[in-house]
Amino acid sequence: MTNTKIKVAVLGATGLVGQRFVRILADHPWFEIAALTASARSAGKTYGAAVSWALGGDVPRAAAEMDILPTSAKRLAETGIQVAFSALPAATAHGIEEELRDAGLAVFSNANAHRMDADVPILIPEVNDGHLELARGQAKRRGGSGFIVANSNCTASGLVLALKPFEPFGIRTVIATSYQAISGAGRRGLAAFDIAANVVPYIGNEEEKLARESRKILGRLAGEAIEPAPFEFNASCARVPVRDGHLLSLAIELERDIEPDAAREALASFRGAPQELRLPTAPEAPVLVRREEDRPQPSLDVEAGSPERAKGMAVTVGRIRRSGRFLNLFALVHNTIRGAAGTSVLNAELAVRRGLIPHEGGPGRTKETRP
């Protein structure tokens, strides 16, 4: 990699996803935080003073001392950043992400503002790294170097990682039931009164997002568009009183039957482009298989993944069993790491290695991969 790190901004840095970005990027071998933004409520304060830190430990020192900028493309242009990581609410993200792309920046977004744009990939790089080519086309068509790459809804990221290893067996139907953590609703998302000792069997638009995003991610790149994967999908999503970690119960109907042992082997041996390229935030294995009859559990498994900087990047799968024509399993995903900031950083690492983000060393000279 280069001697000079690539300057990046985190937009919406005070929120739950923004905080994950700040932590993951604090000691990143390739990227350096040069700007943090939030709403008018926080702009002008230092990050340390404005943030209501939810991750334990200390706010990384360099970030704590930075002044928060307003979320404005004009202000960000003055900071010399090349990459923007967006953790903004969708309504705010829509315009600013486009402005930053038009200004030539690489934008990696967690918001759902542009996920279904035809030329924006929803990238989970172990699953569909080839879709990054849509971003290259996006930049070329606009005559610049800027592009937007989205990552998926937090639940969809766990879902597609658990499904991808079964693609060779022909995925016909997926029935998904989710048990989703409170942090999925953001820092001020749910009143304690509504969720303490309770389950809420409704999350606005979640079931629809899960269906269309997972079909797009598992879809086929055909020219300059994605043909969505054609499997039948049926989702039910609930909010549960868990801090971090979305648990999914899946019933998967395949065209070719698979026994539980072979399913375990397909999941445990699954690897993708981030592992081949040894990207800094790639977990050694993106899917971990547990054999205990009561795992995965959010309180025990949510931070799965190694090495240290890939903690929370592995999806844990367990309770693999056959029931009639369905293969049943549970999958657990860390919603603000693998489901948000961690995958965004992994996407940016892939974009650097594939030459979409110009930098001093050039893609061919990227030697240093681990911190």
Ligand X SMILES: NC(=O)c1ccc[n+]([C@@H]2O[C@H](COP(=O)([O-])OP(=O)(O)OC[C@H]3O[C@@H](n4cnc5c(N)ncnc54)[C@H](OP(=O)(O)O)[C@@H]3O)[C@@H](O)[C@H]2O)c1
Residue 14: CB minimum distance to ligand X, A: 4
Q: Does 92 bind ligand X (CB under 6 A)?
A: yes
DSSP H/E element including 27: none
Report the candidate in 176, 189, 127, 182 with the shortest Cα–Cα distance to residue 350. 127
Instruction: Check if 246 is active-site.
Output: yes
Choosing from 28, 114, 131, 154, the catalytic residue is 154
Per CB under 6 A, the list member of 139, 176, 340, 352 interacting with ligand X is 340
Across 223-252, b (16+ Cβ under 10 Å) vs e yields eeebebbebebebebebbebebbbbbebbb
Pairing type for strands 326-333 and 315-323 reads antiparallel
Q: Does 87 bind ligand X (CB under 6 A)?
A: yes
Site string for ligand X, 10-29 (x = CB under 6 A): --xxxxxxx-----------
Site string for ligand X, 129-168 (x = CB under 6 A): -------------------------x--------------
Per CB under 6 A, the list member of 125, 184, 274, 342 interacting with ligand X is 184
Query: Quick one: angle between helices 206-217 and 154-163, nearest 10?
Result: 40
Pairing type for strands 68-70 and 83-86 reads unpaired
Q: Which is nearer to ligand X, 314 or 327 (CB)?
A: 314
Per CB under 6 A, the list member of 128, 214, 281, 336 interacting with ligand X is 336
**How many other CB atoms sit within 10 Å of the CB of residue 199?**
10
**DSSP per-residue codes, 179-214:** EE-GGGG-TT-S-HHHHTT--B---TTHHHHHHHHH
| Residue listed under structure tokens 């638009």 | 205
Residue 139: CB minimum distance to ligand X, A: 23
Residue 54: CB minimum distance to ligand X, A: 8
The residues annotated as belonging to the active site are 154, 246
- Contact residues toward ligand X (CB under 6 A) are 12-18, 38-39, 41-42, 71, 87-90, 92, 110-111, 154, 183-184, 186-188, 335-336, 339-340
